[in-house]
Structure 1
Amino acid sequence: MAKQQPAPRQSARILAEATAKAKAKATAKAAQAKAKAKAKAQAKPKAKAKAQAKPEPKAKADFWSDGQVATLLADKRADMLAVREDLRTTKAELAQTRDELAATKEELAKEKTKTNVAEAKLVTVKSTVRDFMDFLQDRFRPANPYEIYSPNLSPLPPPAPGWEDGQLPHA
């Protein structure tokens, strides 16, 4: 037949008992080793001086005293708070920079709009001036190069003999 498994409460109790027995054995062995070391040290004066010169190794539980742990935790917490404050400051600076950038973009958009309006006006003025110049040239261009059309001026006299084509007479 298969061995029956103990209930969870029993297994915890059994585990606790086993742990207690193991600790007791370890403590007993450590006490025996210490007693042997003392006996050996008393037997030999050099060994005794040597044993006294070496500090006893501290148990892990005694390595950090409560005050040291509290100090370490306080230091770590202070460091963490300083980092958080730096992060808040950096976030605030970033938000301010973002706002300044948005304001600059708005100003640039306004300037670009002004520039576009000015360019459109310039194109319109250029076109108007060009059209007016074309009108003036068409209106006051003489049909005959020797005539100038103007209601206030009389036409030019006819060219002299030999100058009809605008060339010098042949000699």
Structure 2
Amino acid sequence: MIDWLHGAVLGLIQGLTEFLPISSSAHLRVFSALLGWDDPGAAFTTVTQLGTEAAVPIYFRKDIAGIIRAWALSLFRPALRSDPDARTGWFVIISTLPIGILGKLFRDTTETHLRDLRIIGTTLIVFGLVLAFADRTRAVRHARPITDLTLPHGAGHGFAQALALIPGVSRSGGVLAPDAGSIK
């Protein structure tokens, strides 16, 4: 059971780390251990992420409304299917499927075994090296406009985000790493 102090401290850590390409889930687990607290658990971590994720639709509400509108209209008007907002709607749907499916299939593992500090430490180091490599090589890649993305790109981004089921892998970093410098 998490008391108010633990919840406030972990909520602050969550808020400070959520929008960085680092794993907020891993940091909640690591900081809890460093402070001598019990593992807050996957459910608590998910709830704290809901608070920070609520900021995204509020901030991007106009963009999201445009995407939903264009996507819905493109279902009935084939000429609109090439509209970037309609395509983005499909990309969001496609990229959400992997984490939903894999999260359901590996729920028990993500809530128990993957919260081991040795796994988290290793994952933080490995993923940090992946991000460092992506950052160093981004100048070599050729940028492509977001309108050139395809459904396989959306699925690839979805699988990259699904890696974040492992604490130590960042959802945003998972998407940035393979495409570093390739999207304008």
Q: Determine if the TM-score, normalized by the shorter chain, exceeds 0.5.
A: no
> What is the TM-score of this pair, normalised by structure 2?
0.22
More relative contact order, 1 or 2 (CA 8 Å, 6+ apart): 2
Rg comparison, structure with higher value? 1
